[in-house]
Chains A and B, each alone.
Chain A
Amino acid sequence: MKRLVTGWILLLVLVAFLVLGVTLVHPFGYPNTSDMDDYMIENSQEETGSNNVVAAVLFDYRGLDTLGEATILFTAVTGVLLLLRVSKRKEESS
């Protein structure tokens, strides 16, 4: 019973905080400052030479984040293949 009441109070406080916090950002469709994105849209065809601005941002301007993400993918694949192995158990092993 006490667990139920605590759970509901916690949930209501968190949802109220989330809804309040989400509406205090800039109004939808009119961002405040976008200097970095304007620079990237202007100069991505001369400096990187690709038509796709998102690919240029992912692999050229912010390539270090993509390197970290590739590392995370590699670690997750290694972890999954490690957890799903069963070594051959011998009779005299402890």
Chain B
Amino acid sequence: MLSKIVRTVTNGFIPFIIIFGLYIIAHGHLTPGGGFQGGAVVVSGIVMLLVAFNSQELKKSLRERVLSIMESSGALIFIILAFAGIGTVFFYNLLVGSPIFGRIPPTGPNLGDIWTGGVIPLMNLAVGIKVIAGLSAVVLALALFSGGEEVEE
């Protein structure tokens, strides 16, 4: 564990990092970014938590069962969205035109509306959850193994 100043500053910074990562995930169809990039930003925030606090402390907050459920559900939602439009083709974008996410933007450069995009923002969220859960589990396992304690069966 590092000193008190580092722990307090880390505690103050971590909400901004998580909100920035979720902003990059959510606006994936309007600005550069998307699921993978936003997931990497959130995981780098978790690495900062791991450096400031001990890995034994972090093991109490990020339990392994919660991370496993999050990663599997992210992959399942992605596959269900891919199979939803199986009547036409495999990855058919079936929400274009429907009132949930289906507005069509005007042609040419425009300011961008968040309710456009069809099935793309939902896929971004699924992939973002999958990347966050998977990479934070990997980083936590590496830190726990090298610190002398093994991840028990």
Interface residue ranges, A against B (CB under 8 Å): 45-52, 54-56, 58-60, 63-64, 66-67, 70, 73-74, 76-77, 80-81, 84-88
Is B10 positioned at the interface, with any CB of A under 8 Å from its CB? no
Q: Which of B116-138 contact A (CB under 8 A)?
A: 116-120, 123-124, 127, 130-131, 134-135, 137-138
Specify the chain B residue showing the minimal Cβ separation from A79. B138
User: How far, in angstroms, from A37 to B105 measured CA to CA in the complex?
Assistant: 20
Contact B127 A48 (CB under 8 A): no
Shortest Cβ distance from A53 into chain B, in angstroms? 10
A-B contact pairs, 11 of them (CB 8 A): A49-B96, A49-B116, A50-B116, A50-B117, A51-B105, A51-B112, A55-B124, A60-B93, A70-B75, A85-B152, A86-B153
Query: Among B90, B117, B131, B152, which residue has its beta carbon within 8 angstroms of that of A64?
Result: B90
Q: Which of B82, B91, B120, B137 meets A55, CB within 8 Å?
A: B120
Q: A55-B124, A84-B142, A86-B152 are in contact. List 17 more A-B contacts (CB 8 A).
A: A45-B104, A45-B105, A49-B96, A49-B102, A49-B116, A51-B30, A55-B29, A56-B120, A59-B119, A67-B79, A73-B130, A80-B138, A84-B141, A85-B150, A86-B150, A86-B151, A86-B153
